[in-house]
Amino acid sequence: MTVSHIHHVMLLTILVVGVIDAALGQHPPSTIAESRCWDTANFVVHCSTFIHSLDRNQHAPNKKCCSYAQKIDIAVFCKKFVTGEIFSSDKVVHVARICGNPLPKGSKC
């Protein structure tokens, strides 16, 4: 699989999960929840090059990635999406720290 194909698959997966959660969840959908979902999807799209686990090298994120890294709750992202198979926990923490949204002290990713 090419890297761009993996990006599309990851984005589609996150969007489908978000739609299912909004449709079947026990809570009414809210604009704040929708905004968080889109911010997370955009974080994956724009930062996947920097957080994927396909290679071990860490690279400095670009401005677009950082703009979305600053909007999401890194601890929640780690808990829900970082398993080590697709996203590297070390790289997620690195991007969050470089972009000014570090993981809270005592948290693990």
Domains and CATH numbers, the chain: 32-99 (1.10.110)
What is the reported pTM? 0.69
Per residue in 45-72, pLDDT tens? 999 999 998 888 899 999 999 999 999 9
pLDDT beyond 70 at 15? no
Dig out the tokens for 31 from the structure. Answer: 């604009």
Q: How far are the Cα atoms of 8, 16, 28, 37, 73 from residue 31, in angstroms, in the given order?
A: 24, 17, 10, 10, 16
The tokens describing 86, both together, are 């697709």
Q: Is the pLDDT of residue 28 over 80?
A: no
Q: Which of 8-22, 27-41, 61-75, 94-108 is the least confident region? A: 8-22
Torsion of CA 83, 43, 4, 91, to 10 degrees: -50
pLDDT score for 30: 59
